[in-house]
Each structure stands twice: as C-alpha cells, then as structure tokens.
C-alpha cells in the first residue's frame, strides 16, 4: 500500500503545472499596447484562458500549428500604470486550476497634437447625428466582441500601404482647442484614390460609411484580432467576403472627421483598441516569422 502511495505521489508531481513553461515576451508593456504569452506543452495540462481582472482572453494554437499555444493580452490606453496579475486557467487531470504571474503596465509617454476640424465633427448637436453615432458605435462593438474561434492568418502581417506615417498611435488629440481623447490608430499619408490593401487574410466584417471614420472596412482575422481601415472613398470588397493578404480593399479618401486625405489604420483585440504597428511587430517577430 505504501509503495502504491509513493508511486501515485511521484506521478502526480511529474504532472504538476510548471510556470516556467509560460513565456512572457515582455514583462513590461505600455498602456495601449499588447503583451504576448506563449505556452509550451506540459503533460497532463490543458491550457484554457488568461484573465486580467474581469477580462478573459482565450488561449489558441499558434499559427504555425506547432504544439505550442499563445494568448494576446491587450491593455487599454486608459489602463492603470501598475503591476497586473495575469491568472492562467488550465485543467490538470480534469480539475480546474489557476496559476498567476505579474506583468507591469508602464506609461507610453505619448505626445500631444492639436487638430482643427469642422465643429460639426467635434460637438454634433442634432439628435439625429447623435443617434447615428451611438448606433454605429454599438454595431462596431458587437463586431469586435465576436471571437471567431479559428484564425485566417497564414503569413506575417503587412502594412496597408507603403507610405509615410503622419501620426502615430496614442497621441493625445486636442480638437479645436478642447481635449477629446487620443489617436486610436496610425495615420498614413494617402492622396485620394490611393489603393488600400488587407494587412492579412481575413473575413470582411463591415463595409460602411460612418460619421466619424467615414468610409470604413473592418477585417476579422480570427481569434479576436481585427484591423480597421478608415476615411476611404471607395470599396472593392463586401461584407462576409474572404480576402487575402495584399488584396485591395478600396481607395483612400478624406471622409469622416479628417483634416485632409489619409488612411487611418487601427486594431482591436477582444474589443480593446491597441497600437496596430506594435501588434504587427509582436506577431510577426514571435509567432509568424517562420511563415
């Protein structure tokens, strides 16, 4: 009987969760940016999700279809600059268990910029316009909250056009002398009629002309990753269509709240808005480099 007990204890100890098998690529991440976790295989362990506070993020197979898993942990621009507890939820021999690790959110030290646009685009007064804005926001958030369980991604991400970046993500935006928020994406110089291409394989989640973002295309890359293309003048795709990396989505323009023609390129993960260029670099360097 004692021998049996020792054997069971030995097997159990071999199957214990090993936190060193969880790789955090950066232990410090700025507000508005994304952290990447990679999970190495562990015998008897089934990874499930990672939670930060009340927000939960699924763990997926890596795009290269290896035995490794990954999770993207996005932090809002308004996230507190503090140590965050990441709770890793997993099953060990059918029992639900949790391990934790810490990740520090630091200040992104974003610059300020002043923007002058039509007052109608800063403080709309009519109920009709306000209702339209609310409806468009609710529609977009419903899309962003939809987590497609499979990934469409097959290759590294590319930028939507080869042009100069005129405004980076995160800049504190002051419209017409009043503080309104921050720049939620990356702006590329793009004269009206410049072809805009998909940054990666995806399903087209939305094609619409909206009040603030003008001509808009939203792409669902799967597993909670979305890229967004704003202020367009023409569309070449339809909702529900599957598009390939580099496929033309439409043409740049100056629709919506703009000071001039350009492309606003942004990204969301599980509804949270993040720096699209940092996200692309993170994924390409660590998950998609072998593609």
CATH number of the domain to which 94 belongs: 2.60.40.10
Residue 73's domain comprises: 2-106
Position 14 scores a pLDDT of: 52
Which of 70, 86, 106 corresponds to the end of one domain? 106
Top pLDDT among 123 and 267 is at 267
The two structure tokens encoding residue 2 = 């004692």
Question: With bands split at pLDDT 50, 70 and 90, how would you rate the model's confidence at 9?
Answer: very low
Residue 14 lies in a domain: yes
Same domain, 98 and 170: no
CA atoms of 72 and 34, how far apart (whole Å): 7
Whole-model pTM above 0.85?
yes
Position 2 scores a pLDDT of: 41
Span 68-84, pLDDT tens digits:
999 999 999 999 999 99
Q: How far is CA 24 from the centre of its chain?
A: 17
Question: With bands split at pLDDT 50, 70 and 90, how would you rate the model's confidence at 5?
Answer: very low
Same domain, 99 and 121: no
Res. 272: pLDDT tops 80? yes
Same domain, 137 and 94: no
The label of the residue with tokens 């990934």 reads 151
Residue 83 lies in a domain: yes
Question: With bands split at pLDDT 50, 70 and 90, how would you rate the model's confidence at 40?
Answer: very high
Please list, residue by residue across 154-177, b when 16 or more beta carbons sit within 10 angstroms of its beta carbon and e when fewer do: eebbebbbebeeebebbbebebee
Span 234-268, pLDDT tens digits:
999 999 999 999 999 999 999 998 889 999 999 99
Which of 56, 89, 106 corresponds to the end of one domain? 106
**Which of 4-8, 87-91, 118-122 is predicted least confidently?**
4-8
CATH number reported for the structural domain that contains residue 272 in this entry: 2.70.70.10
Which of 86, 106, 126 corresponds to the end of one domain? 106
Are the beta carbons of 93 and 15 closer than 8 angstroms?
yes
Position 15 scores a pLDDT of: 59
């Amino acid at each position: 009987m004692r021998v049996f007990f020792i054997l069971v204890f030995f097997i159990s100890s071999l199957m214990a969760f090993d936190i060193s098998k969880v790789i955090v690529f950066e232990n410090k991440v700025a507000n508005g940016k994304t952290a990447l976790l990679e999970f190495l295989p562990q015998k008897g362990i089934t990874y499930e999700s990672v939670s930060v506070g009340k927000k939960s993020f699924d763990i997926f197979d890596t795009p290269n279809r290896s035995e490794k898993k990954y999770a993207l942990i996005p932090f809002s621009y308004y996230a507190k600059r503090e140590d965050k507890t990441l709770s890793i939820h997993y099953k060990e021999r059918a029992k639900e268990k949790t391990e934790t690790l810490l990740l520090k959110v630091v200040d992104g030290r974003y610059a300020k910029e002043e923007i002058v646009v039509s007052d109608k685009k800063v403080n709309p007064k009519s109920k009709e316009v306000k209702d339209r804005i609310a409806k468009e926001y609710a529609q977009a958030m419903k899309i962003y909250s939809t987590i497609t369980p499979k990934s469409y991604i097959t290759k590294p991400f590319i930028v939507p056009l080869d042009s100069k970046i005129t405004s980076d993500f995160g800049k504190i935006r002051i419209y017409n002398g009043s503080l309104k928020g921050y720049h939620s994406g990356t702006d590329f110089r793009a004269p009206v009629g410049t072809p805009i291409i998909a940054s990666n394989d995806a399903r087209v989640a939305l094609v619409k002309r909206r009040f603030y973002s003008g001509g808009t295309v939203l792409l669902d890359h799967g597993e909670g990753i979305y890229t967004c293309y704003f202020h367009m003048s023409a569309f070449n795709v339809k909702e529900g269509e599957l598009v390939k990396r580099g496929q033309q989505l439409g043409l740049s323009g100056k629709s919506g709240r703009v000071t001039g023609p350009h492309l606003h390129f942004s990204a969301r993960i599980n509804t949270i808005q993040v720096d699209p260029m940092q996200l692309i670099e993170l994924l390409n360097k660590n998950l998609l480099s072998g593609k």
